[in-house]
Structure 1
Amino acid sequence: MNSGTIRTLVATVALAFATAGVHAGSVSWDMPNEYPATSLQGETDQFFSRRLAELSDGDITITHHFGGALGFRSRDQLDAVGDGAVPLANTFIAPLGGMDPLFLLMSLPFLTSDPQEAKRLFDVAEPHFNTVLERYNQRLLYSSPWASSGLWSRKELADSQSFAGLKMRTYDANSTEVFRTAGASPVQLSWADIVPQLSAGGIDGVLTSIEAGLSASFNEYTPHFAAINYDSTVNLATINLDVWNGLDDAQRALVQQAADETAAHAWANIADAVAQSYEQGEAKGMTIQREVDPAFRQQMADNAQPVIDAWLKQVGESGVQILDAYRQGTSGAESN
């Protein structure tokens, strides 16, 4: 029996178990997430499962598997949900750009500078994400934002010259190209691979948010953080369409209500989470640049424009529509 057949059988059995509970009047799901239980994404998932259990009087329960405990990286989870290997998952979408370039939208460099702008961008793009997810046999439950990405480093990064030869972690094709252009030596790493590389000296910097880095104790290796606001990306929690369609109307309504409340909770609390993370980092002895030199950031943004142009060529007219609508909304918000 070849490996493809085995994977198919595993997915079939997993889907059968996931849907069997529906017909018995109760549902129990396994939900992977590559990030720790203490991260924003982990806490968001736990909010969702608590609300779902409360709304359903305990009839719909979720067992969480944080930190890649089931062996799935974020790049694996789109297929894992679509194939039915797991009924649902919360997935960092930037590594999925090879499956569809739309997944790179939220990590386009310097397009958003704070969570409010990220929310406007996601709202514009959500119908497009729904279309892509349906092709992968799943539907969106909720989006969950990350704090804006900055740079963790062993030494303070004072200016563009500091990037020369810097061995650093990036998380998608966009960020890899941007920092290569800046003179760094970037390597695209999944979340679970970062700490081993830091501890072994394989990398000296990490592109991620302040909150995410603290959740994995990056401060023990890289005590400097610069809030360059590179992007404000998201995770998407999705559910297998066969599992969703196997629910009765009342169950679907409860799941959707819990999901809507979870998204509202996640987006409403992101600013406070960032402020708390800065305080926690400084209490741990970190050096945090909450604001970087505007000229330095603008230079980075100028260097990144070819990445956005290349993305637009990949995506086509829908990408132009998304960015035009977002920029119009951003201009309108700034003028109010």
Structure 2
Amino acid sequence: MATEYPASTVSGEGIAFFADRLAEASHGRLGIAPSYDAALKLKSSEIVAAIRDGRLAAGCAFGGTLGGIDPLFLLSSLPFVTTTEAEARALLDRARPLYTDHFDRQSQHLLYATPWPPSGLWARKRIVTPADLAGLRLRVYDATGVTVFAAAGARPVNLSFAEAAPRLADGSIDAILSSGDGGAGRKLWEHLPYFTEIGYAMPLSFATVGQSRYDQLSPDLRAAVDAAAAATQIEQWHRLDKRVEENLARLRANNVTITSPEKITPALRTLLAQAASGAIADWKKQAGPDAAKLL
């Protein structure tokens, strides 16, 4: 069961928790061999394809990278749609039947969805005005992010986290859109000592298993998988509030300057909101009426 993120992130910890619960629920008859930090050389979009093609049993893929497979998976990373945990959970509850159906089209069974802490901007400088954003060479995690930040004057490029690290090291990007969690796991503070809390989105990663592998299990083992997945879903949301505070504390301990939302200028807020509205309208057209109704 693979993820492109480190074991210390919410995605990695979700896999570890699921593995423990599955071993317990199946009385040791089923086991998970976790693979973290893109050790199998698979980005999130490639994880879904590998499961679909039978090359990988299971995985946890970041939803923002799956827009090329199906625009529905961009829902949780739409800008400024869910700004609180309660809103993010409500959106997932409403969207889960659609997610299940669309993963079924990819020949896989949806296990659980992992929420990430709010996405902010890691950068070499503070980002508080439109001028700070202008021309910024910025890594984003999906096509929507490209649309939003290009409209806001930045120079965004859509990269997986695995692809972003070398670009950051060689100086070809100056900033990264990510949660404090993903960044903390990768020690972004070594290159980007500023984190601006813009509350961009609370995106999801999706854990799935190949449908044929799931179907081949006996009824009691399928029940064990479902029970472990349900427990993991509850645990991942339960951890979220505490996780945000832990991440911010870790950033402060490593001398990261955190810019809180109230320090962002009204001009930058307005600019981002205007850019976001266009991107959301485009997504509604691409995703279709059933997905658009969720908003």
State the TM-score, normalizing by the size of structure 1. 0.85
- Residue 286 of structure 2: aligned partner: 314
- Residue 280 of structure 1: aligned partner: 250
- Residue 225 of structure 1: aligned partner: 195
Q: Following TM superposition, by how much is the alpha carbon of 1:70 offset from its aligned partner in structure 2, in angstroms?
A: 1.1
* Matched position secondary structure for 2:294: helix
Distance 2:2 2:278 in 1: 35
Distance 2:111 2:269 in 1: 34
- Residue 152 of structure 2: aligned partner: 182
Distance 1:303 1:186 in 2: 13
- Residue 264 of structure 1: aligned partner: 234
- Residue 82 of structure 2: aligned partner: 112
Residue type at the aligned position of 2:42: F
Distance 1:294 1:86 in 2: 46
* Matched position secondary structure for 2:195: strand
Q: Following TM superposition, by how much is the alpha carbon of 1:115 offset from its aligned partner in structure 2, in angstroms?
A: 2.3
* Matched position secondary structure for 1:64: coil
- Please tell me whether residue 163 in structure 1 is matched to residue 163 in structure 2: no
| Stretch deviating more after TM superposition (51-60 or 177-186) | 51-60
* Matched position secondary structure for 2:4: coil
One of 148, 164, 174 as aligned partner of 1:204 = 174
Distance 1:101 1:294 in 2: 32
Contact 1:170 1:188 in 2 (8 A): yes
Residue type at the aligned position of 2:13: E
Distance 1:297 1:84 in 2: 45
Residue type at the aligned position of 1:256: D
One of 135, 141, 151 as aligned partner of 2:105 = 135
- Please tell me whether residue 144 in structure 1 is matched to residue 149 in structure 2: no
Q: Following TM superposition, by how much is the alpha carbon of 1:78 offset from its aligned partner in structure 2, in angstroms?
A: 1.3
Q: Following TM superposition, by how much is the alpha carbon of 1:192 offset from its aligned partner in structure 2, in angstroms?
A: 0.7
Q: Following TM superposition, by how much is the alpha carbon of 1:46 offset from its aligned partner in structure 2, in angstroms?
A: 0.2
Name stretches of at least 5 consecutive residues in structure 1 with no aligned partner: 1-30, 324-336
- When residues 183 and 253 of structure 1 are mapped into structure 2, their CA distance, relative to the original with a 3 A threshold, is same
One of 189, 204, 212 as aligned partner of 1:234 = 204
- Please tell me whether residue 125 in structure 1 is matched to residue 104 in structure 2: no
Q: Following TM superposition, by how much is the alpha carbon of 1:315 offset from its aligned partner in structure 2, in angstroms?
A: 1.8
Contact 1:115 1:148 in 2 (8 A): no
- Please tell me whether residue 65 in structure 1 is matched to residue 35 in structure 2: yes
- Residue 271 of structure 2: aligned partner: 299
User: How big is each residue's C-alpha offset from its partner over 1:189-245, in whole Å with a ceiling of 9 and x where there is no partner?
Assistant: 111122211111011100000111011000010010011011110000001111001
Distance 1:247 1:173 in 2: 37
Residue type at the aligned position of 2:179: S
State the TM-score, normalizing by the size of structure 2. 0.97
Q: Following TM superposition, by how much is the alpha carbon of 1:294 offset from its aligned partner in structure 2, in angstroms?
A: 6.9
Residue type at the aligned position of 1:303: A
Q: Following TM superposition, by how much is the alpha carbon of 1:93 offset from its aligned partner in structure 2, in angstroms?
A: 1.4
Distance 2:216 2:24 in 1: 21
- Residue 101 of structure 1: aligned partner: 71
Name stretches of at least 5 consecutive residues in structure 2 with no aligned partner: none
Distance 1:114 1:226 in 2: 17
Q: Following TM superposition, by how much is the alpha carbon of 1:122 offset from its aligned partner in structure 2, in angstroms?
A: 1.1
Q: Following TM superposition, by how much is the alpha carbon of 1:290 offset from its aligned partner in structure 2, in angstroms?
A: 2.8
* Matched position secondary structure for 2:39: coil
Alpha-carbon RMSD across the aligned residues, in angstroms, is 1.1
One of 188, 192, 195 as aligned partner of 2:162 = 192
Distance 1:275 1:281 in 2: 10
Larger radius of gyration: 1
Identity, % of aligned positions:
37
